Amino acid sequence: MSVATAAPANGSQDSARRGLNTWDSPWLNFKFLLGLSMIAIILLMAGAGPLGLYDTTRARVASAPLNLPPVWTNIDNPFFGEPDPEYPLGTDSDGRDLTAVLLVGAPRSLHIGLIAAGAGMLIGVVLGFSAGFIGGWWDAFVRTISDSIITIPALAVLIVISAFVKNLDVVILALLLAAFAWPGPTRLLRAQVLSMRERGYVQMARLSGANTFSILFREMLPNMLPYLAASLTGNVSGAILAATGLEALGLGPTRIPTMGMTIYHAMYVSALFRGMWWWWGMPIVALVIVFTGLFLMTVGLDEIANPRLRGIREQ
């Protein structure tokens, strides 16, 4: 293989072949859009109850017949009821309609993740920017603290918290999760600020007399948007992971149905042994959609931020 073919081939010939038109925007990344639409579907599910499309009050205990399998199944077991089109995804042993549980619970999980990751991101932006720009002892301090917090297993500490504080509020849980979601964005932003600080356009802005604040937020921040977004979706996923873990241990908020809590109920009464796969299966399917959607968004955003990742070209 010669040197010429081994060198990365991108740039001129690629753009010439594909042509630069309006559809060539890096934001039209397939993975990103696929992930985004998966998340959008989950978010839209929240509208089903308030819009009267589905009776979501049946997510409560004893609001539906017990042990109905999903409507498309044909299970020959006298213990279960007959599938009923009224309850498409079946019901559990406590009389919850799993369709309603899903419609209420799945958007709720995203909700927790968004609050936690958003708050964590806000802290990360402030700390990362200030550490990268001020430098010195403050930088060393922020870096040391974030490096040590990042190695503490968040789930374990949250377990201690929820073991002591019964009936966690959703917002409080989200903020507790945020307490562990900031070191990631902080590290990322600090590194980005350090590398951008010496770039031409930042020097230019400084020479033009722009103040620090406007350099940070007008010049640097827009350039970091894809990185920030990738970090945010990654953090949403991490927060939901921790929240679901807590719920699956029976330690999450108990007033509203959540996906992790449904798994907890199912495990608690050994739905696994009793063959009630839809009870633990439905929340898993919903969470897989959430996690895969966020994952695809993160990967897509990474590719938007870093063109090199968009794939290796055949030569």
* Contacting positions for another protein (CB under 8 A): 1, 3, 6-8, 144-145, 147-157, 159-161, 163-165, 237-238, 241-242, 244-245, 248-251, 263, 267, 272-273, 277, 280, 284, 287-288, 291-292, 294-295, 299, 302, 306, 308-309, 312, 314-315
User: What are the helix (H) ranges across 219-258?
Assistant: 221-248
For residue 97, the cross-strand partners are 91
Question: In the complex, what is the shortest distance from the CB of residue 50 to another protein, in angstroms, rounded to a whole number?
Answer: 29
| Residues 259, 106 contacting (CB under 8 angstroms) | yes
Question: In the complex, what is the shortest distance from the CB of residue 51 to another protein, in angstroms, rounded to a whole number?
Answer: 30
Ramachandran angles phi, psi of 4, nearest 5°: -60, -40
Whichever of 8 and 200 has its CB closer to another protein, that residue is 8
Question: In the complex, what is the shortest distance from the CB of residue 233 to another protein, in angstroms, rounded to a whole number?
Answer: 10
Question: In the complex, what is the shortest distance from the CB of residue 280 to another protein, in angstroms, rounded to a whole number?
Answer: 6
Give CA–CA dist 301/224, Å, rounded: 11
Whichever of 77 and 315 has its CB closer to another protein, that residue is 315
Q: Which letter does DSSP use for residue 220 in this model?
A: I
Whichever of 178 and 248 has its CB closer to another protein, that residue is 248
| Residues 99, 89 contacting (CB under 8 angstroms) | yes
Whichever of 53 and 312 has its CB closer to another protein, that residue is 312
Question: In the complex, what is the shortest distance from the CB of residue 242 to another protein, in angstroms, rounded to a whole number?
Answer: 7
Give CA–CA dist 165/46, Å, rounded: 28
Query: Would you call 165 helix, strand, or coil by DSSP?
Result: coil
Residue 293's CB: how many other CB atoms inside 10 A? 23
Whichever of 3 and 20 has its CB closer to another protein, that residue is 3
